[in-house]
Amino acid sequence: MTLKETKNLSANRYELTIAISAEELAEGVRKAYESRKADISIPGFRKGKVPFAMVVKMYGEEAFYEDALNILYPDAVDAAIKESGLKVINDKMDTDIESISKEEGVVLKVALTTYPEIELGKYKGLKAEKVIAKVEDSEVDAQVNAMAQRNARMVSVEDRAAQMGDTAVIDFEGFKDGVAFEGGKGEGYSLELGSGSFIPGFEEQIVGKNIGDEFDINVTFPEEYGAEDLAGKEATFKIKLHEIKFQELPEIDDEFAKDVSEFDTLAELKADIKEKALAQKAKIAEEEAENDLVQQIVDSIKGEIPEAMFESRLQQSVEEFGYRLQMQGLDLDTYLKYSGTSMDDFKATFRPQAEAQVKFRLALEKIVELENIEASDEAIEAEFKKMAEAYNMEVEAVKNAVPASELAKDVAVQKAIDFIKENAVITEVEAKTEKKPAAKKSTAKKTTTAKKTTKKAEEAAE
């Protein structure tokens, strides 16, 4: 193989002119014959036993050119790319066979897309703010109360009427103009009063009723109700109240702490909750500051990024989403059908994320290049072990599945993030008190979380 010419067609688009010698073509033809000879049949010869010379005599070497090129093409193109020094995107290549003959061999042109040459703005001495992590006692109490809610028990009430917050066990049947309507009947239904599970006005009319009471409830269905024959219509429900229950919370004390945790005292449980909440808030604050720094760099990128890179990332996002659906027993086609979304519209929802991910990676790879950042063997080995633990696999199995060279790139990129933070000015600030937005005004901001969106699907699942 010989690389005859490297031609720049446009930004990030090159054409390689590649020559495959007559000898290489002949070798490819011979290999093509060997791969097909079992199926070749000519009168006077047994199937699969026809000599190469006889096949060529009858059909010519041209009969094997297509198969020969399929055999020669990958190695020829790989060698040409390596010789050209181009960093090529794994994208569809456009190939044109300029000439092919037994005497001259093959000349072909391959158009391909390369990684963009980008320029970064400032990436040292950047400024960002990091919120000081604090956990109030009220936050700890809220978590303890939530634990108590999860460990509450339902207790039957017999000595009073139903109240908001109770669970009423009822039979009901709905009538419109005196006629029972479909879907309006239930028996032994547990309804939490005040939950808003039923149409407006229904639950409130059970309040004050006692066990054994039979009564009517009069309601008006909302105008936007799903069933057209009931939307906006008046209806009467006949009710029988069988049981009243309420949620009894456990007393929050040392015994409660022993029951719901490994701690002996409530104080120890609260201290653990506070410590974990503080660590989580600190992690979030660190990530937000990091995202701010990275976004500043991403915004400074100059250079034309090939659409193929965005498309590749878009496709990966769609495949990851489809995989998560499969884990839930669904498939993407069914999801799109029932959500009434086309594939193009669905992919478009990932577009901003895909662009952020591509730019983020390019920016960090550029810093790796500029600062000569390398991943040590120890760091790569540690990452292999980390992945093995995350996926519950043997380390060697992970190594067989993930090339060390690719993992080294990821480790170097992570070191680039550390480099950015080490060379940044990060100011710790108090958390801002959230204010309610003024009427008819939106205070929502669009934020970019570049790092989070670039994490591989270990994931699934978000």
What does each C-alpha distance from 279 to 72, 132, 135, 274 come to in angstroms?
A: 57, 11, 10, 9
Ordered structural domains, the chain, with CATH: 2-113 (3.30.70.1050), 153-248 (3.10.50.40), 281-454 (1.10.3120.10)
- Spatial separation of the C-alpha atoms in residues 132 and 30, rounded to whole Å: 71
Torsion angle defined by CA atoms of residues 321, 325, 326 and 328, in that order, rounded to the nearest 10 degrees:
150
- Spatial separation of the C-alpha atoms in residues 430 and 133, rounded to whole Å: 8
> Is-contact 106 17, C-beta < 8 A?
no
For the record, the structure tokens of 116 come out as 């963009």
> Is-contact 117 417, C-beta < 8 A?
no
Coil/strand/helix, residue 24: helix
Predicted pLDDT at 143 = 96
Phi/psi of residue 282, nearest 5 degrees: -65, -40
Coil/strand/helix, residue 392: coil
- Spatial separation of the C-alpha atoms in residues 63 and 39, rounded to whole Å: 14
Predicted pLDDT at 396 = 92
pLDDT in tens, the chain (462 residues): 899 999 999 889 999 999 999 999 999 999 988 998 888 888 888 888 888 888 888 888 898 999 999 999 999 999 999 999 999 987 778 999 999 999 999 999 999 999 998 999 999 999 999 999 999 999 999 999 999 999 999 999 989 999 999 999 999 999 999 999 988 899 999 999 999 889 999 999 999 999 999 999 999 999 888 788 898 999 999 999 999 999 899 999 999 999 999 999 999 999 999 999 999 999 999 999 999 998 999 999 999 999 989 998 999 999 999 999 888 888 898 888 888 889 999 999 999 999 999 999 999 999 999 999 999 999 999 999 999 998 899 999 989 999 998 899 999 999 999 999 999 999 999 987 655 444 333 222 333 333 333 333 333 333
For the record, the structure tokens of 336 come out as 């799109």
Q: How would DSSP label each residue in 165-216? A: T-EEEEEEEEEETTEEEEEEEEEEEEEETTS--SSTTTGGGTTT--TT-EEE
Predicted pLDDT at 433 = 65
- Spatial separation of the C-alpha atoms in residues 416 and 373, rounded to whole Å: 7
> Is-contact 171 240, C-beta < 8 A?
yes
- Spatial separation of the C-alpha atoms in residues 187 and 202, rounded to whole Å: 16
- Spatial separation of the C-alpha atoms in residues 285 and 428, rounded to whole Å: 10
Closest of 20, 16, 12 to residue 94, by C-alpha: 16
Q: Which residue has the tokens 């269905």?
A: 221
Predicted pLDDT at 336 = 87
- Spatial separation of the C-alpha atoms in residues 174 and 229, rounded to whole Å: 13
* DSSP state at residue 460: -
Say which residues have a Cβ less than 8 Å from residue 310's Cβ, sequence separation at least 6.
351, 354, 355, 358
> Is-contact 131 430, C-beta < 8 A?
yes
Q: What size, in residues, is the chain?
A: 462
> Is-contact 95 251, C-beta < 8 A?
no
Burial class (CB in 10 A: 0-12, 13-18, 19+), 300: middle
